[in-house]
Amino acid sequence: MLGLTHLQDKQDTSEEVLVIDLDNLACIKAVVSNVSEWGCRLTSDHIGELHKHIGIRFSEDEKLIKAHVTSVKGNDAAILFPKGDSMGHEQRRESRHKVSIPVTISDKEDIMEIPGTIVDAGQHGCRVIAEGLQSLPDEILLNIKKFDKPIKGEFAWRNETSAGIHLLWNDHLHMSGPI
């Protein structure tokens, strides 16, 4: 479910997804919106091709998210995530803590910098809110004022305004001079 968690409870946020009907194997492009822990809305000109059992594929995910179509009206479908597969079910191996930490995210060469805020954090990862994250490369540096050195990380997922970042504590930063 990691693919849609960044859209959860954000009414004005939407993203294109691939939807596969598991009954008739139809495959359509749709826009997902109104994501909550129990379901979402899908919009597509081809929404009528979907039956009850579907899989939703977010652009960066390798797996489908299991879901059920509960109703269709016009180009919109109401979608329900099965119990136990809900968006609120935590799939991380570690807990995350809600925080509000100012951060500057940059490429490894420190050429491009984007200011942002870490909104939840754990030992091995964090979620960042910032504008323009898709303009950065996959490997990044997180600069936090209270830390002596930047923290190396890589995007687990991202869109224009938020991202999940895997922290690479043991990777040595390749900077000029000794560390």
| Domain boundaries, given as residue ranges, for the chain | 2-80, 97-167
Confidence of residue 92 (pLDDT cuts 50, 70, 90): low
Which of 169 and 133 is assigned the larger pLDDT? 133
The pLDDT assigned to 6 comes to 66
On whether the CB atoms of residues 69 and 15 are closer than 8 A, the answer is: no
User: Could you tell me which residues come within 8 angstroms of residue 148 by beta carbon, excluding any fewer than 6 positions away?
Assistant: none
pLDDT at 90 over 90: no
* Residue 32, token pair as written in the block: 């997902």
CATH for 2-80 is 2.40.10.220
Give the residue-averaged pLDDT of 75-82: 90
On whether the CB atoms of residues 163 and 128 are closer than 8 A, the answer is: yes
What is the percent of the chain with per-residue pLDDT over 70, rounded to a whole number? 82
Nearest to 66 by CA among 1, 156, 18: 1
Which of 100 and 110 is assigned the larger pLDDT? 100
Distance between CA atoms of residues 41 and 21, nearest Å? 15
pLDDT at 67 over 50: yes
The pLDDT assigned to 137 comes to 92
Confidence of residue 38 (pLDDT cuts 50, 70, 90): confident
- Identify each DSSP E strand in the chain by its residue range: 14-21, 27-33, 39-43, 53-58, 65-73, 76-80, 97-106, 113-121, 125-130, 139-143, 151-158, 162-167
Hey, do 2-80 and 97-167 end up sharing a CATH topology, with the first three levels equal? yes
The domain made up of 97-167 has a fold known as Thrombin, subunit H (2.40.10)
